[in-house]
Amino acid sequence: MNSSAALMTLGIALYSAAILISILVGVNAAVRKRRRLAITLAVVVTVLVIAGVVVAILSSTHAIS
């Protein structure tokens, strides 16, 4: 198996886990009226999603070896 593909798969799994964990903790913070933490995690999720879109666009326009 190609180690590059394995690393890409691991990276995608960690990336999606970071987004899901941030969403879950943010929702929990909102329910518990911890507004500052909820807002911070909403910003973290937004940054992660935007970074993912940028990486997807760059990887589709440039050949990654």
pLDDT tens-digit readout, 17-46: 999 999 999 999 999 999 999 999 999 999
Q: What angle do CA 48, 53, 58 make, to 5 degrees?
A: 125
Asked if 22 and 41 count as a contact pair (C-beta separation under 8 A), the reply is yes
Instruction: Look at residues 34, 16, 15 and name the one whose alpha carbon lies nearest to residue 25.
Output: 34
Report the number of distinct structural domains present in the chain: 1
| Residue 49 structural domain | 3-61
Asked if 45 and 26 count as a contact pair (C-beta separation under 8 A), the reply is yes
pLDDT confidence band for 14 (50 / 70 / 90): very high
- Confidence check: pLDDT of 56 > 90: no
